[in-house]
Structure 1
């Protein structure tokens, strides 16, 4: 409960229940005790009249219903659903007592004076790259490693079979597995194959893993979840397997079947995705508003050398989705960057979420959709399957995979200026990506050189285009993006030839400032090296002085019998020398 800070003008108190429903009281004023008792009696009479002429006393349930807090018949708890459409007889309170606001609780409440209630249905857990379970012939998973398909007969789940096909046969040969356990989910990586299904009346949920990297001859292992706990989503990564269950638990195993420490999920799981040592999890964080889905996500790093080696790479936060869109795919790019796809848009998380491609711009029919398989940042393409008149591809015949170029949804896409801006953004992202991949051992010299050349060409073309349009402020902004003084010198030459003296002078000052800043950075970088060099020389000189001190001291020979003259003669001769 909270009141309006400006109580002198707007006497309002807002209140909210535990489920997020909001109410508002207006004209809240202080009053004397006797007057309050009198007004309370009038309120009681009015409420009794509303409850019904036959009721002899106040009906608490009717009061709750009239004020927007009816009792739920299922669990017996009060739920705020909004005020009734009729106007309650509270005119007796016009002289200062509280009056329930006639303002609708939300813009969608309208004249019914009911607050907005979310009509969005909670999305069931799913496996990225899979088709619905109710299909007889379906894809259990289709990703960059291979395809897992399930062929079944209607009404006979035990007669179904599972086929596994790898894009690269050097990883493993194809598999044909009888689906006697009724598996409905699958996850495929270069190291393992996961299969699982829901619990049945006579058997609990069971997880089966085929470890391709096993060298002892025992490639398959299985485990059973506790009674009442179902596997809802799972994923495999580098030497680990993760399973999210109906108890909001994340169970982790090694590829050989060793159990690791469990993690409690922040909410009901939606999907999992893995790449290397990184695990992505999407979950329902709260009830969505205005037909929106409220999805949260987190990114966990898993250390294979410790049974409790977990690290939050990205703390739990809200996953951005388009308006009235559902999460349809989640995974990683070939380079290991987190990516998602909602009902129409592919977006990439490179520091922050950036939309890469609007797939609705590439389809002809309203009922056509793209089924996402994977994407590559270096190649700037998205691998997907065009589904005409459906959302999921058919199993037979197997459809062809399409390559869509990454196209940023910028304004005025057909404009030359926009095309140059898009090329600059993509090349800058690639330069940043190659710098990260270079630290992990990837050979990115060729992509980095291409991206650097494209970035410089785009900057110079944008500069020339702004000069031709007499946009000198824009040209200065473009020049601020130039990373080196060579580009600034080219810009100065272009401005001079275009007879823009003021612009050329400003760019010359920018180039000189850039050189001074770079020299200052180099000086700061060289200062620690110089300090360490001087300290090492000082220590070496100290050692040399100590050695010289011992060397310059003449030796003194002691001869028994008191021949001290011999010692003096030897010392005097050495001094003369």
Structure 2
């Protein structure tokens, strides 16, 4: 976490890691002359922002890497009068700041990468690797009806209003928007936390303790409840302040109520609790919950990789058209699926780029060989990491016919690259119909 010790002339900012083994050296304390009030931690550095304080003190954004091979990699930018940073986040290759006017994306070297108009007043930002999530207001709050269930505090919430929020999810590496929609909240609740799980699932938690995860293939892209604080409380007023998620657990700090913010000193204790989809069915609920969570995460991981490949193939096509063949080859090398790589090869051939086609062909061969070696003698290389969509179709079909239907859809999406025709203007191999 990031902590600030306030002084008379300046503040001192310290970065503290819960897992002390995560870094080999201590992060030096930062002397803060700007009055930073916003901050976010990434795997490579910290992004900080200060509010606007009149004409003499504009809003400032700073990125500070943990380590760097070159001097002068720390950077700041000062915003014009009237534009103030409201939220910040940082991924593995970018830093982002949402102001009262724009969503601004920068490379970690400080170069502007994108400036997007905000669809509504920003609420929060979150990032994971190349993914950027924006939460914003999408209209006036709606009246929430009262409820006889839950604590008195929850009843007071339910008798007021529910915020109307929406989200947009971007893949910064391919500069594409991959999902958007409404953000569900409990009646009368407010958004308390948004972030990504350790396996890359976008998740939210409201102040009534309901955690929801967004899954691409859950009925065309939907939110699924993953945890309900009310079911895990040991005392009626106990509140679980979420700090992170794994595949099976929620990491939280237990506070006395929703009004209490976790303390910084002494360092708070991180507790873990199991995620649980609220199952209502005849039979062992724990086993059915385990099955549903496994199916959702399996689908989400594949769909995110497929979406990334769709975006990358569009970029490869644009690079070939612009005669940027080195860039096209570089993009092809990071495609997730073998079928996608074969699709890139077809693009190069269709657009008569013989040398590029030869080099992508070498990637196809080397990746196939690597997959074959990983799978062992006699194994189908297509069933490895880069052909997992086809592999899943068979394995899920043994367990559940409905799951197999979803798997066949995923496999069909991945297979379109290999069956793509070669017209004068090649179509996107992963275009949805």
TM-score > 0.5, shorter chain as reference: yes
Task: Confirm or deny: 8 A CA contact 1:196 1:207 kept in the other structure.
Answer: yes
Q: For residue 435 of structure 1, report the CA deviation from its aligned partner.
A: 5.5
2:28 equivalent in structure 1: 175
Instruction: Provide the TM-score with structure 2 as the length reference.
Output: 0.62
Larger Rg: 1
Check 1:215–1:403 CA distance in 2 against 1; reply closer, same or farther (3 A cut): same
Per-residue CA deviations over 1:472-511 (Å, capped at 9, x if unaligned) read xxxxxxxxx9832xx79xxxxxxxxxxxxxxxxxxxxx9x
Give the Cα–Cα distance (whole angstroms) in 1 for the partners of residues 100 and 279 of structure 2. 41
1:160 equivalent in structure 2: 11
Instruction: Provide the TM-score with structure 1 as the length reference.
Output: 0.47
Asked whether 1:277 is paired with 2:130, we answer yes
2:240 equivalent in structure 1: 370
SS of corresponding position for 1:229: coil
- Among candidates 206, 213, 217, match of residue 71 of structure 2: 217
Give the Cα–Cα distance (whole angstroms) in 2 for the partners of residues 433 and 287 of structure 1. 31
Check 1:437–1:312 CA distance in 2 against 1; reply closer, same or farther (3 A cut): closer
Task: Confirm or deny: 8 A CA contact 2:201 2:300 kept in the other structure.
Answer: no
Q: For residue 178 of structure 1, report the CA deviation from its aligned partner.
A: 2.4
2:146 equivalent in structure 1: none
Give the Cα–Cα distance (whole angstroms) in 1 for the partners of residues 242 and 113 of structure 2. 32
Task: Confirm or deny: 8 A CA contact 2:48 2:61 kept in the other structure.
Answer: yes
Give the Cα–Cα distance (whole angstroms) in 2 for the partners of residues 159 and 213 of structure 1. 24
Q: For residue 276 of structure 1, report the CA deviation from its aligned partner.
A: 1.3
1:383 equivalent in structure 2: 251
Asked whether 1:347 is paired with 2:205, we answer no
- Among candidates 350, 360, 374, match of residue 230 of structure 2: 360
Give the Cα–Cα distance (whole angstroms) in 2 for the partners of residues 346 and 274 of structure 1. 17
Check 1:419–1:335 CA distance in 2 against 1; reply closer, same or farther (3 A cut): closer
1:334 equivalent in structure 2: 198
- Among candidates 159, 179, 184, match of residue 314 of structure 1: 179
Task: Confirm or deny: 8 A CA contact 1:384 1:401 kept in the other structure.
Answer: yes
Asked whether 1:410 is paired with 2:279, we answer yes
Check 1:235–1:437 CA distance in 2 against 1; reply closer, same or farther (3 A cut): closer
Asked whether 1:190 is paired with 2:43, we answer yes
2:318 equivalent in structure 1: none
Give the Cα–Cα distance (whole angstroms) in 2 for the partners of residues 325 and 302 of structure 1. 30
SS of corresponding position for 1:175: coil
- Among candidates 375, 393, 401, match of residue 262 of structure 2: 393
2:189 equivalent in structure 1: 325
**Stretches of 4+ moved more than 6 A in 1?**
436-439
- Among candidates 284, 292, 314, match of residue 425 of structure 1: 292
Give the Cα–Cα distance (whole angstroms) in 2 for the partners of residues 437 and 298 of structure 1. 14
Structure 2 unaligned blocks of 5 or more: 144-160, 217-221, 307-335, 338-370, 376-394, 420-433
Per-residue CA deviations over 1:113-153 (Å, capped at 9, x if unaligned) read xxxxxxxxxxxxxxxxxxxxxxxxxxxxxxxxxx1112236
Task: Confirm or deny: 8 A CA contact 1:333 1:339 kept in the other structure.
Answer: yes
Task: Confirm or deny: 8 A CA contact 2:215 2:297 kept in the other structure.
Answer: no
* Worse-superposed segment, 391-400 or 361-370: 361-370
Q: For residue 293 of structure 1, report the CA deviation from its aligned partner.
A: 0.5
Structure 1 unaligned blocks of 5 or more: 1-146, 304-308, 446-480, 489-509, 530-577
Task: Confirm or deny: 8 A CA contact 1:172 1:212 kept in the other structure.
Answer: no
Q: For residue 334 of structure 1, report the CA deviation from its aligned partner.
A: 0.8
Check 1:183–1:337 CA distance in 2 against 1; reply closer, same or farther (3 A cut): same
2:165 equivalent in structure 1: 295
Check 1:203–1:434 CA distance in 2 against 1; reply closer, same or farther (3 A cut): closer
Give the Cα–Cα distance (whole angstroms) in 1 for the partners of residues 134 and 142 of structure 2. 22
Give the Cα–Cα distance (whole angstroms) in 2 for the partners of residues 337 and 434 of structure 1. 8
More contact order relative to length (CA 8 Å, sep ≥ 6):
2
Check 1:410–1:263 CA distance in 2 against 1; reply closer, same or farther (3 A cut): same
Asked whether 1:483 is paired with 2:397, we answer yes
Task: Confirm or deny: 8 A CA contact 1:370 1:391 kept in the other structure.
Answer: no
What pairs with 1:401-480 in structure 2 (closer than 5 Å)? 401-411=270-280, 416-432=283-299
2:155 equivalent in structure 1: none
Asked whether 1:200 is paired with 2:53, we answer yes
Task: Confirm or deny: 8 A CA contact 2:27 2:66 kept in the other structure.
Answer: no
SS of corresponding position for 1:409: coil
Give the Cα–Cα distance (whole angstroms) in 2 for the partners of residues 292 and 387 of structure 1. 23
Per-residue CA deviations over 1:59-94 (Å, capped at 9, x if unaligned) read xxxxxxxxxxxxxxxxxxxxxxxxxxxxxxxxxxxx
SS of corresponding position for 2:230: helix
Give the Cα–Cα distance (whole angstroms) in 1 for the partners of residues 28 and 39 of structure 2. 13
Per-residue CA deviations over 1:370-399 (Å, capped at 9, x if unaligned) read 11111112xx11111111245321112112
2:87 equivalent in structure 1: 233
Give the Cα–Cα distance (whole angstroms) in 2 for the partners of residues 172 and 257 of structure 1. 24
Give the Cα–Cα distance (whole angstroms) in 1 for the partners of residues 74 and 121 of structure 2. 29
Per-residue CA deviations over 1:522-560 (Å, capped at 9, x if unaligned) read xxx9xx99xxxxxxxxxxxxxxxxxxxxxxxxxxxxxxx
